């Protein structure tokens, strides 16, 4: 399978394009992950705004370079602003990322809402293996927000999900797999501590949105975010011990990528 890493010039070019373009990226996410997600985008030069204050979800997605919607935003929002933001992004032609956190973990009312967002045609869907297997119609295997399946187990399901929805689908694991349903690429690397820092996966969804705002091809944009994140995590992991320092170093390395 084709591999994409930081050594591929398209990856560094994508990060440079974010720094040059400084796109406005709008997100609805949950309060556990919001701070890290905003800081990840700021570290690469994007301008994030987060949250469903008043008419933000019916106004900001149309003017944003890209949008990300993490359905765990429902921990402090009703469903309506998420649907509004997805609809507005789709109708305005703003690319948007769906992060279906914890879908398939047993909360059926939540799962039904997450699936309803597919009507608004996300540009990219990202998650862990359990989430994406569940979203593609497979058996539910999640344990809260954690996966019990491997990314490799999910390749068939994510390819099917991509073909059915027209979205690029990206599954995270020790090696990440990204597909548009026809072409599937692997992004190796990262650090195991990414699973020990809350919101790290969520912040990758935000970073995908940042790349979508400046890189026209959705599969390439998704690879830019995944490979940049993996490289920053490797560099952070090489110089820290413990999970707290790792999270700080991850932001440092993202802010220094390509400089």
Q: How many residues bind a second copy (CB under 8 A)?
A: 67
Among 150, 188, 251, 258, binds a second copy (CB under 8 A): 251
Give me the count of residues in the chain.
259
- If you search the block for the tokens 């999640």, which residue do you land on? 142
Q: Nearest distance from residue 238's CB to a second copy, in Å?
A: 14
74 belongs to the binding site for a second copy (CB under 8 A): yes
Q: Nearest distance from residue 232's CB to a second copy, in Å?
A: 10
235 annotated as belonging to a binding site for a ligand: no
Answer yes or no: are the C-beta atoms of 204 and 101 closer than 8 Å.
Answer: no
Write the DSSP symbol of residue 85.
H
Q: What is the DSSP string of 119-148?
A: GG--SEEEE-HHHHHHHTT-----BTTB-S
76 annotated as belonging to a binding site for a ligand: no
d(CA 65, CA 45): 13
C-beta closer to a second copy: residue 96 or 110: 110
83 belongs to the binding site for a second copy (CB under 8 A): no
C-beta closer to a second copy: residue 30 or 231: 30
d(CA 135, CA 249): 33
Write the DSSP symbol of residue 64.
S
Residue ranges in contact with a second copy by CB under 8 A: 24, 26, 30-36, 38-39, 42-43, 47-56, 59-60, 63-64, 71-77, 79, 102, 105-110, 113, 143-146, 195-199, 241-245, 247-256
Instruction: Show binding-site residues for ATP.
Output: 126, 172
């Amino acid at each position: 399978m084709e591999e994409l890493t930081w050594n591929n010039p398209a990856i560094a070019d994508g990060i440079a394009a974010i720094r040059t373009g400084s796109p406005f990226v709008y997100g609805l996410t949950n309060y556990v992950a919001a701070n890290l997600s905003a800081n990840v985008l700021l570290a690469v030069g994007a301008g994030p705004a987060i949250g469903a204050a008043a008419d933000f979800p019916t106004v900001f997605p149309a003017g944003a370079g890209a949008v990300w919607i993490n359905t765990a935003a429902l921990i402090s929002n009703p469903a309506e602003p998420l649907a509004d933001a997805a609809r507005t992004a789709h109708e305005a032609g703003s690319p948007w990322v769906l992060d279906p956190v914890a879908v398939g973990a047993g909360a059926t009312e939540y799962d039904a809402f997450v699936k309803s967002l597919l009507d608004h045609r996300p540009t990219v869907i990202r998650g862990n293996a359990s989430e994406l297997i569940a979203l593609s119609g497979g058996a539910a295997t999640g344990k809260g927000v954690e996966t019990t399946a491997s990314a490799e187990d999910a390749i068939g399901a994510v390819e099917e999900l991509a073909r059915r929805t027209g979205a690029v689908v990206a599954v995270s694991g020790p090696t990440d797999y990204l597909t548009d349903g026809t072409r599937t690429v692997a992004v190796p690397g990262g650090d195991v501590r990414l699973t020990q820092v809350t919101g790290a996966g969520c912040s990758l969804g935000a970073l995908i949105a940042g790349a979508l705002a400046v890189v026209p091809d959705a599969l390439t944009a998704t690879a830019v975010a995944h490979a940049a994140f993996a490289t920053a995590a490797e560099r952070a992991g090489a110089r820290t011990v413990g999970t707290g320092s790792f999270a700080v170093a991850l932001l440092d390395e993202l802010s220094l990528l390509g400089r």
